[in-house]
Amino acid sequence: LNIDYIRLYLSSKNPVLAILAVDNELIDTGFRAAKDNTSKFVWNPQLLSPLSYQQILSRPLHAVVCVGYDDFTKEVKLLNSW
């Protein structure tokens, strides 16, 4: 993943589609934050190495749209359907 490409497309006012390989933190905390709608949720997956294609396919996948990037915090702002 090259964050510079995401930043380039976003700065050109283009949305960027992202497919997430869902982990337990996203399921437990992310779904609760979406349901309660009480606070922003920052997902920080801790991967030691990139997932292989087979590992990605073995997990649930979720599509979101990147709509912003914060250069200071280095966070991507995602728009979700739920």
Q: Regarding predicted confidence, which is higher, 49 or 8?
A: 8
CA-CA-CA-CA torsion sign (55, 19, 43, 30): negative
**Using 50, 70 and 90 to split pLDDT, how confident is the model at 16?**
very high
Q: What is the per-residue pLDDT across 39-66, written as a single tens digit (0 to 9) for each? A: 667 776 665 467 777 877 888 888 889 9
Q: Could you tell me where the beta strands, DSSP code E, fall in the chain? A: 16-21, 61-70, 75-79
Burial pattern 2-16, b for ≥16 Cβ within 10 A else e, equals eeeebbeebeeeeeb
Q: In 3-state terms, what secondary structure has residue 33?
A: helix
**Using 50, 70 and 90 to split pLDDT, how confident is the model at 12?**
very high
Stated pTM of the model: 0.66
